[in-house]
Chains A and B, each alone.
Chain A
Amino acid sequence: MAGQTALGPFQQQVLYALLRLREKAYGVTIWQELEERTGEALAIGSVYSTLERLERKGFVSSRMGEPTPERGGRAKRYYAITGAGAAALQRSERILTNLKGIPVPGTP
């Protein structure tokens, strides 16, 4: 059970991005939010593969949006964090908090 609900670091980041973006969370906004907050250039494929994994675990739900002209008439897929996803994120935070307390070598 623990293995099923354990979240990787990137999965946690994606879930936090969904929490921040709320109803505006779709591919591009999630991608931009992650790039801005982490300061790293990301590939859209890695974002979608993570979202797919999270959806399969039941941590994320998705729905199709309306197509827009700036996307060439293609529809968006909006994502939202589920109750199970929020619980898994809380659990990950708790684990991290329990493990903290020892100073990282090299830090003042």
Chain B
Amino acid sequence: MTIRKPPGPGEPFVRKHTWEVRGKREGWTFIWATEPDAPRTARWQRRGNLLFDQNGAPIGESPPFRAEKLLLLVLSARFGEVLLGDLAERFPWIQESYGNRFARLWYWRQALGAICSCFGLRVTGALSVATVARLARRLLSR
């Protein structure tokens, strides 16, 4: 894991082939993993619970940081980044329609649901019905 300083206010964030999780401490960026086909350009800046655009103008309340971090840690690089983008795109709409508290709960629900779906997929992939039947037959035949 490498820790780098984020760009200054107004400075475009162009870092190809990386994705990142912003740390709790303002002014630091935690860069964890790489994905070759995920180009990065514009991005938000988080200060506390608020989001600011590249020019420093406030956008709104940010999605729950811990849920984002959990998703990036648990999900594969292929889907984690895209899924976070989808949730980030829909989060402001939920926030406007139902309020911040509901939006945060909604985000957590979606994040945990995605993690469960991801593990469910892996489990069903490894333990197909045929594999389970074969294992059961082997155990019963002893």
Measured between C-beta atoms, what is the minimum distance from A11 to chain B in Å? 13
- Chain B residues with CB below 8 A from A37, complex form: none
| A72: interface (CB < 8 Å) | yes
The answer to whether B89 touches A75 (Cβ under 8 A) is no
| A101: interface (CB < 8 Å) | no
The answer to whether B113 touches A46 (Cβ under 8 A) is yes
10 extra A-B contacts, CB within 8 A, seeds A45-B116, A69-B43, A69-B54: A43-B110, A45-B118, A48-B83, A52-B79, A66-B39, A67-B41, A73-B13, A73-B43, A73-B44, A77-B82
| B121: interface (CB < 8 Å) | yes
| A6: interface (CB < 8 Å) | no
The answer to whether B113 touches A74 (Cβ under 8 A) is no
- Chain A residues with CB below 8 A from B88, complex form: 70-72, 74
Interface of B: prevailing SS = helix
The answer to whether B87 touches A44 (Cβ under 8 A) is yes
| B105: interface (CB < 8 Å) | no
Contact residues on B (Cβ < 8 Å of other chain), bracket: 20 to 34
| A104: interface (CB < 8 Å) | no
Q: For A68, give the chain B residue with the smallest CB separation.
A: B42
Q: State in angstroms the CA–CA spacing of A45 and B71 once bound together.
A: 11
The answer to whether B118 touches A71 (Cβ under 8 A) is no
Q: For B87, give the chain A residue with the smallest CB separation.
A: A44
Residues of B bordering A, CB below 8 Å = 13, 19, 37-44, 53-54, 79, 81-90, 92, 109-110, 113-118, 120-121
Number of interface residues of A (CB under 8 A): 25
Q: For A74, give the chain B residue with the smallest CB separation.
A: B85
Residues of A bordering B, CB below 8 Å = 26-28, 31, 43-46, 48-49, 52-53, 64, 66-77
- Chain A residues with CB below 8 A from B40, complex form: 67, 73-75
Partner of B118, one of A27, A49, A77: A49
- Chain A residues with CB below 8 A from B114, complex form: 43-45, 48
The answer to whether A28 touches B82 (Cβ under 8 A) is no
- Chain A residues with CB below 8 A from B42, complex form: 67-69, 73
